[in-house]
Amino acid sequence: MKILVVGSGGREHAMVWKLAQSPRKLALYCAPGNAGIESLATCVPIKADDITALKTFVMSEKIDLTVVGPEAPLALGIVDEFRQSKLKIFGPTKGAARIEASKVFSKEIMSRANILTAKAQSFDRVAPALAYLDQHEVPVVVKADGLAQGKGVVVAATREEAKQAVRDSMEQAVFGQAGQRVLIEQFLDGEELTVMAFTDGLTVVPMLPAQDHKRVGDGDTGPNTGGMGAYCPAPIGSTALCTQVTRQILYPAVEALSRMGCPFQGVLYAGLMIVNGMPYVLEFNARMGDPETQVVLPLLKTDLLEVMEAVVEHRLDQLTVDWHDETAVCVVMTSEGYPGAYQTGRAIHGLPTTTEGTTMVFHAGTTRTGTEVVTAGGRVLGITGRGKTLEVAQAEAYRVTQSIVFEGAHYRTDIAHRAFSHHA
Q: CATH no. for residue 405?
A: 3.30.470.20
In a domain, 100, yes or no: no
* Domain with 87 in it: 2-94
Contact 235, 422 (CB under 8 A): yes
Per-residue pLDDT averaged across 333-349, rounded? 96
One domain, residues 331 and 402: yes
User: Residue 151 has what pLDDT?
Assistant: 66
Per-residue pLDDT averaged across 144-165, rounded? 83
pLDDT band for 103, please (50, 70, 90 cuts). confident
Hey, what long-range contacts does 232-235 have (CB within 8 A, 24 or more apart)? Answer: 232/208, 232/292, 232/295, 232/296, 232/299, 232/327, 232/328, 233/208, 233/209, 233/299, 233/327, 234/193, 234/194, 234/209, 234/210, 234/418, 234/419, 235/419, 235/422, 235/423
Q: What percent of the chain has pLDDT over 70?
A: 98
In a domain, 209, yes or no: yes
One domain, residues 181 and 235: no
CATH number, domain containing residue 139: 3.30.1490.20
Question: Residue 293's CB: how many other CB atoms inside 10 A?
Answer: 31
One domain, residues 137 and 253: no
One domain, residues 272 and 393: yes
Residue that finishes a domain, picked among 94, 129, 155? 94
Q: Could you read off the pLDDT of 9-64 as tens digits, one per residue? A: 999 999 999 999 999 999 999 999 999 999 999 999 999 999 999 999 999 999 99
Q: What percent of the chain has pLDDT over 90?
A: 82
User: What whole-number distance in Å separates Cα of residue 154 and Cα of residue 214?
Assistant: 12
One domain, residues 138 and 275: no
Answer with the residue of higher pLDDT: 119 or 423.
Answer: 119
User: Residue 423 has what pLDDT?
Assistant: 61
In a domain, 410, yes or no: yes
Q: Tell me: pLDDT of 115 over 90.
A: yes
In a domain, 247, yes or no: yes
One domain, residues 340 and 417: yes
One domain, residues 328 and 201: yes
Contacts of 196 (CB under 8 A, 6+ apart): 206, 207, 210, 267, 268, 269, 270, 288, 289, 292, 296
Contact 297, 13 (CB under 8 A): no
CATH number, domain containing residue 18: 3.40.50.20
In a domain, 262, yes or no: yes
User: Residue 150 has what pLDDT?
Assistant: 63
Q: Tell me: pLDDT of 147 over 90.
A: no
pLDDT band for 154, please (50, 70, 90 cuts). confident
Lowest mean pLDDT among 61-65, 105-109, 191-195, 396-400: 105-109
User: What whole-number distance in Å separates Cα of residue 362 and Cα of residue 85?
Assistant: 33
Angle between helices 251-259 and 94-101 in degrees, nearest 10: 130
Lowest mean pLDDT among 128-132, 229-233, 277-281: 128-132
Lowest mean pLDDT among 9-13, 240-244, 393-397, 415-419: 415-419
Q: Tell me: pLDDT of 186 over 60.
A: yes
Lowest mean pLDDT among 179-193, 226-240, 348-362: 348-362
User: What whole-number distance in Å separates Cα of residue 372 and Cα of residue 91?
Assistant: 34
On average, the pLDDT of the chain sits at 94
User: What whole-number distance in Å separates Cα of residue 269 and Cα of residue 267?
Assistant: 6
In a domain, 104, yes or no: no
One domain, residues 45 and 124: no
Pairing mode of beta strands 182-186, 120-123: antiparallel
Per-residue pLDDT averaged across 293-312, rounded? 98
Lowest mean pLDDT among 59-63, 158-162, 169-173, 367-371: 169-173
Which strands form 65-68's sheet, in the order they lie side by side?
42-43, 27-32, 2-7, 65-68, 89-90
Residue that finishes a domain, picked among 137, 160, 186? 186
One domain, residues 200 and 174: no
pLDDT band for 354, please (50, 70, 90 cuts). low
One domain, residues 68 and 124: no
Q: What is the 3-state secondary structure (H, E, C) of the chain?
A: CEEEEEECCHHHHHHHHHHCCCCCCCEEEEEECCCCHHHCCEECCCCCCCHHHHHHHHHHHCCCEEEECCHHHHHHCHHHHHHHCCCCEECCCHHHHHHHHCHHHHHHHHHHCCCCECCEEEECCHHHHHHHHHHCCCCEEEEECCCCCCCCEEEECCHHHHHHHHHHHHCCCCCHHHHCCEEEEECCCCEEEEEEEEECCCCEEECCCEEECCEEECCCEEEECCCCEEEECCCCCCHHHHHHHHHHHHHHHHHHHHHCCCCCCEEEEEEEEEECCEEEEEEEECCCCCCCHHHHHHHECCCHHHHHHHHHCCCHHHCCCCECCCEEEEEEEECCCCCCCCCCCCECECCCCCCCCCEEEEECCEEEECCEEEECCCEEEEEEEEECCHHHHHHHHHHHHCCCECCCCECCCCCCHHHHHHHC
The domain tally of the chain equals 3
Residue that finishes a domain, picked among 186, 213, 238? 186
In a domain, 293, yes or no: yes
One domain, residues 83 and 223: no
Lowest mean pLDDT among 148-162, 201-215, 232-246: 148-162
One domain, residues 43 and 178: no
In a domain, 109, yes or no: no
pTM score: 0.93
Contact 274, 131 (CB under 8 A): no
Contact 358, 386 (CB under 8 A): yes
Lowest mean pLDDT among 36-50, 239-253, 310-324, 408-422: 408-422
